[in-house]
Structure 1
Amino acid sequence: MKAFFKDVFRRMGILFVSAVLFAILSVFIFSFFAGSLLSPTREGIKKDSFLVLNLTMNLTDRPAEVSFEDVAREALSEERSIPSYHLREVVDALAIAAKDKNLKGIFITGGFSPSGYGCGYETILEFIRALQSFKQSGKKIVGYVHSPQQLDYLVYAQCDELIMDPAGTMLLQGLASEQLFFGDAFKKYGVGIQIVRTGRYKGAVEPFTNNRFSSDNRAQIQDLLDQRWVHYLKTVGDARSISWPDLNSTFARKFLWKPNDAATQGLVDRVDDFGGVIERLIELGSKDEEGNTFAQVEFGDYVERLRPSPLDDDGEDQKIALVYVEGAITDGWGDDGQSVGGDEISRRIRGIRKNTDEYKAIVLRINSPGGSVSGSEAILFELERARDAGLPVVVSMGPVAASGGYWIATASDKIFAGPQTITGSIGVFGILPNIESLGADYGLNWDTVKTNRSSDIFSLSRPKSEEEIGVIQEYVDQTYDRFLNLVSGSRNLEKVKVEELAEGRVWLGRDAYELGLVDELGGLSQALEEAVHLANLGRDYKIEEFPKIETPADALAELLDIRSAPPKPFPSKIQNPLVNRLTEAQAFRNLLTDPFGLYGILPWYRSQLGFKPWGINL
């Protein structure tokens, strides 16, 4: 009897908790949809307003996902997460703002908050080109800077009027690329690493075997940083009317600037506090009497106004499918901006290919350092089938399209790259770790029963024999040869010429264009225009993005979908530099998912390569 009542009370408790949770969720759902459907139309933008563009964002290539946790937190509290905007919606919004009769100009403030592969250099440059196009309308861009990072200042330099806070600091120290090496640590603790690879410059394995960059790898990274730094100086110098050699010598002598010194040097126009900035914006535009500030519209609100309603899509328009590949390519599924599964992308392309009545061309936007050979092959095969089905495929390379990212680009009709895109890295490697010695130090032993000598070839319990390494090396050489053939056939280059350009070496987009590895220099807009041309669409078409732009309703639907992916771990808030470096290394290790252990990836690439965010804490 005691057990019976215990079970009854337990069931009643579960029922009560479930009812409470259901009631809360129902109220939230009702409030969300009621607010969306019954809220009044947004007020119009006041004449002579400024569009407030807060750079405190993660500027990505692909549309960002919206999590239910973020939606719930913003609905139940005043806390707001750092927004993510993707390049196309930002560029489109700025183009519309240039023609908006109610907007007097743009007011820029804040600083980028990069995450994953967001805020890549070439993406920032496309953003800057959109700002420069905006300025051609005759409208002003005013900036208010406090303590900018170098990428922030690249944008601020484009302002017609740049004001610095009197309490701010400007740090312009140059570019650096730092890599954590585990070679000595693995030797010390008995972790064995066996390597198979191709190419002098394929330095992907170096962090696991060495304690520093090899001379070849160091030389190519140094060359890349030197070219990028000159480009940075020229971009800033052209905007601020200062010669780039003068800027370079100035920054070599002094990298830390107080506001008045920055103004004297011409890095900013004047120094003033925010109150003075408000008065200046009222003078240039108009006053918001209710808020006692300048008339304004937030950039996020402006973007929301421009987003089309899903109800507007009747499915009858001809479409360009814009497919994003952002993050390291892995084997399997998933797409979170950090990594992207080859099967995930190939499934999207397959769906497009099977609906050629609606979709007339594919633009593949790549922002990836590569990854799994198996995952890259899955994408490439589906792109080839799409072309066989009559769909033109145009590639737009973003900040990086290297190794596996270049592999998939070969299945296209035309390749566009930005002048500062990092591409190439044509090579393949494999990593075969073992912990036999480490286990022995702690009294751990393995015993295996097998039918063949190499049945346990991918086991971590033992090193591989010379014969086994020879077999795997032969497989790597064959994979590398396939890579060379793909490039040779796609680029119409002799294989001998491709071999000279390969060996894992990286190239900037400008050099890749001169060498014939890409067709044109240009950004996403130019790639879309080319797709329209190849598909003979004229002006009657729409662009559909994959993945699609998510809304809070999508996040709620995903929460209620029992087929949803498992919950993601909460991001680490730890700011310890060593812990952060180890976390980066673990993240890279998690990308090594190829079933045969073969990869084409650029491991030292970071989305803000060279622009490491250093901070000064007082």
Structure 2
Amino acid sequence: MKNRFIERLWISREVRLAIMVAILGAVGAVACAAGDWKIGIAVLGVAAAMVAAFYFAVVRPARIPHDAVLVIRLAGPIEEDVTRSPLDQIMRRGGLSLDHLRYALESAAIDNDVRAIVVEIAGFGAGLATAHEMHRLMRVAQQGGKRVIALLRGDDAGLREYLVAAGAGEIVANPDTMLTMLGVATGGVFLKNALDKLKIQAQTLQWKEYKGAAETLGRDTMSPAVRESMEAIVADWEKILVEAIASSRKLSHERARELIAAGFVTAKFAVENKLIDREGYIEDLRAEFDPESKRKAFVSLARYRRHAIFRRERGRRARIALVHASGPVISGDAPATGEYISGVATAAQLDRASRDDQVKAIVFRVNSPGGSAVGSDLVWRAVREAQGRGKPVVVSMGDVAGSGGYYVAAGADAIVAEPATITGSIGVVYAKFN
């Protein structure tokens, strides 16, 4: 049986290192005093090597300037998590983790060593819910006293990119960047007429009326039920965009609604209509923060995360397990590349977290359009078993958590969704071809 005193006793890694070095130093000194110089010097050398290794591997990489400027570059897909197989990481080279971005922005907002945050936006490979979360994280940092600047530097910037940028206190755009303010829309593709010409008949079954996935094959127009749900989603998205942009840019709701549907507009138009603050380049910002061009103040996302982890993750604290479930649900093992929710693997992760005595609760992050009923059921059962072991399970939903993506969450103690999350378990569909 474990000693409770030993479990509660926590010694920092610096103190542990100091104790080990002190012991080795004492042993080395005794050996030298006894005349055994080879052993004494070797032991002292090991102690010195341990100190050097700790400094160069842990302390030095975590150091940042006192007036640091955190630079975050958004120019590709934003993944929920990047801890995948080496092959998948190679295939998805350059992908950012939303988990890493969230941690860095939350840490920088309260870090006295960070004086400003610059977010370069050249593309945003995620949904509206993720863009809205990034917007809020940047606004929190700004309201906490940090100077937050967004730089739009891609060929064009759509509403998702602009929503992220609007979370900053200042928005700068490359003079040649075009803002594509095209409003909010959704639609569907209908293949029935094309299949008829090929003499292919699609037989579909659905339960119930809002489960419209098979309409692509069996209809040539959108059903009233699916149109109703799509119109509701569009209305919600428009409301989110209008409220966020009007609040951050100090515009009326009517004016914000007009501007997000203004069409293709130039950076000059955006300045004149208060969508952005000025035109400029990243070099202008670097010159402003670093007039002498020493380039020491600028800190990358990866480097800042090392600093934040070194500063914040200290002490023995209750652990909260974070289990990610991203992509379509399948019943068996996931392929080597791509985002999938393996029913077997995800259930095993939940089981392992629920059996860990140091884990006090589980946060289950779901971003999935659904898929296999068998795979979803395996995950649902694992959630219920974790609760049976006394571990609360809270689901956090990302851009989408529909059908099987909702099924896996349904057994949790609580479900939290973003305002722009598409969620709901709306039925079952089946199709076959003649």
TM-score by length of 1: 0.56
**What do the CA deviations read for 1:526-572 (whole angstroms, capped 9, x no partner)?**
xxxxxxxxxxxxxxxxxxxxxxxxxxxxxxxxxxxxxxxxxxxxxxx
CA contact (8 A) 2:119 2:151 kept: yes
Distance in 1 between residues matched to 2:169 and 2:68, nearest whole Å: 17
**Matching residue's letter, 1:371:** G
Q: Which residue number corresponds to residue 21 of structure 2?
A: none
Distance in 1 between residues matched to 2:87 and 2:76, nearest whole Å: 19
CA contact (8 A) 1:194 1:433 kept: yes
Q: Does 1:240 align with 2:221?
A: no
CA contact (8 A) 2:118 2:149 kept: yes
What are the equivalent positions in structure 2 for 1:516-535 lying under 5 Å apart? none
Q: Which residue number corresponds to residue 175 of structure 1?
A: 184
Q: Which residue number corresponds to residue 92 of structure 1?
A: 103
Q: Which residue number corresponds to residue 300 of structure 1?
A: 302
| Residues 69 and 398 (structure 1), Cα distance of their counterparts in 2 relative to 1, 3 Å cut | closer
Q: Which residue number corresponds to residue 175 of structure 2?
A: 166
What are the equivalent positions in structure 2 for 1:41-440 lying under 5 Å apart? 41-42=60-61, 44-65=63-84, 67-68=86-87, 81-87=93-99, 89-114=100-125, 119-146=126-153, 147-252=156-261, 254-279=262-287, 281-282=288-289, 286-287=290-291, 289-291=293-295, 295-307=297-309, 318-334=318-334, 338-353=339-354, 355-434=355-434
**What do the CA deviations read for 1:581-615 (whole angstroms, capped 9, x no partner)?**
xxxxxxxxxxxxxxxxxxxxxxxxxxxxxxxxxxx
Quick check: 210-219 or 220-229, which moved more?
210-219
Distance in 1 between residues matched to 2:84 and 2:54, nearest whole Å: 20
- Structure 1 or 2: more strand by fraction: 2
What SS does the aligned partner of 1:204 have?
A: coil
CA contact (8 A) 1:60 1:123 kept: no
**Matching residue's letter, 2:431:** I
CA contact (8 A) 1:230 1:244 kept: no
What SS does the aligned partner of 1:122 have?
A: helix
**Matching residue's letter, 2:415:** I
Unaligned 5+ residue runs, structure 2? Answer: 1-52
Deviation at residue 44 of structure 1 after TM alignment: 3.2
TM-align CA RMSD: 3.0
Deviation at residue 226 of structure 1 after TM alignment: 2.0
Distance in 2 between residues matched to 1:60 and 1:121, nearest whole Å: 13
**Matching residue's letter, 2:380:** L
What SS does the aligned partner of 2:213 have?
A: helix
Deviation at residue 163 of structure 1 after TM alignment: 2.0
**Matching residue's letter, 1:86:** L
Distance in 1 between residues matched to 2:140 and 2:249, nearest whole Å: 17
CA contact (8 A) 1:121 1:420 kept: yes
Distance in 1 between residues matched to 2:360 and 2:114, nearest whole Å: 36
Deviation at residue 214 of structure 1 after TM alignment: 1.6
**Moved >6 Å (runs of 4+):** 35-40
Deviation at residue 278 of structure 1 after TM alignment: 3.2
What SS does the aligned partner of 1:99 have?
A: coil
Deviation at residue 269 of structure 1 after TM alignment: 1.2
Distance in 1 between residues matched to 2:140 and 2:113, nearest whole Å: 18
Higher RCO structure, 1 or 2 (CA under 8 Å, sep 6+): 1
What SS does the aligned partner of 1:109 have?
A: strand
**What do the CA deviations read for 1:339-382 (whole angstroms, capped 9, x no partner)?**
212122112222233x2423332221111121111111111122
What SS does the aligned partner of 2:378 have?
A: helix
Distance in 2 between residues matched to 1:93 and 1:429, nearest whole Å: 41
Distance in 2 between residues matched to 1:237 and 1:313, nearest whole Å: 40
What SS does the aligned partner of 1:432 have?
A: strand
Q: Which residue number corresponds to residue 578 of structure 1?
A: none
**Matching residue's letter, 2:340:** S
Deviation at residue 308 of structure 1 after TM alignment: 6.7
| Residues 269 and 340 (structure 1), Cα distance of their counterparts in 2 relative to 1, 3 Å cut | same
Deviation at residue 241 of structure 1 after TM alignment: 0.6
Distance in 2 between residues matched to 1:431 and 1:104, nearest whole Å: 57
Question: Percent identity over the alignment?
Answer: 26
What SS does the aligned partner of 2:61 have?
A: coil
| Residues 178 and 36 (structure 1), Cα distance of their counterparts in 2 relative to 1, 3 Å cut | farther
Distance in 2 between residues matched to 1:46 and 1:351, nearest whole Å: 40
**Matching residue's letter, 1:194:** Q
| Residues 398 and 307 (structure 1), Cα distance of their counterparts in 2 relative to 1, 3 Å cut | same
Unaligned 5+ residue runs, structure 1? Answer: 1-34, 74-79, 435-618
Deviation at residue 388 of structure 1 after TM alignment: 2.0
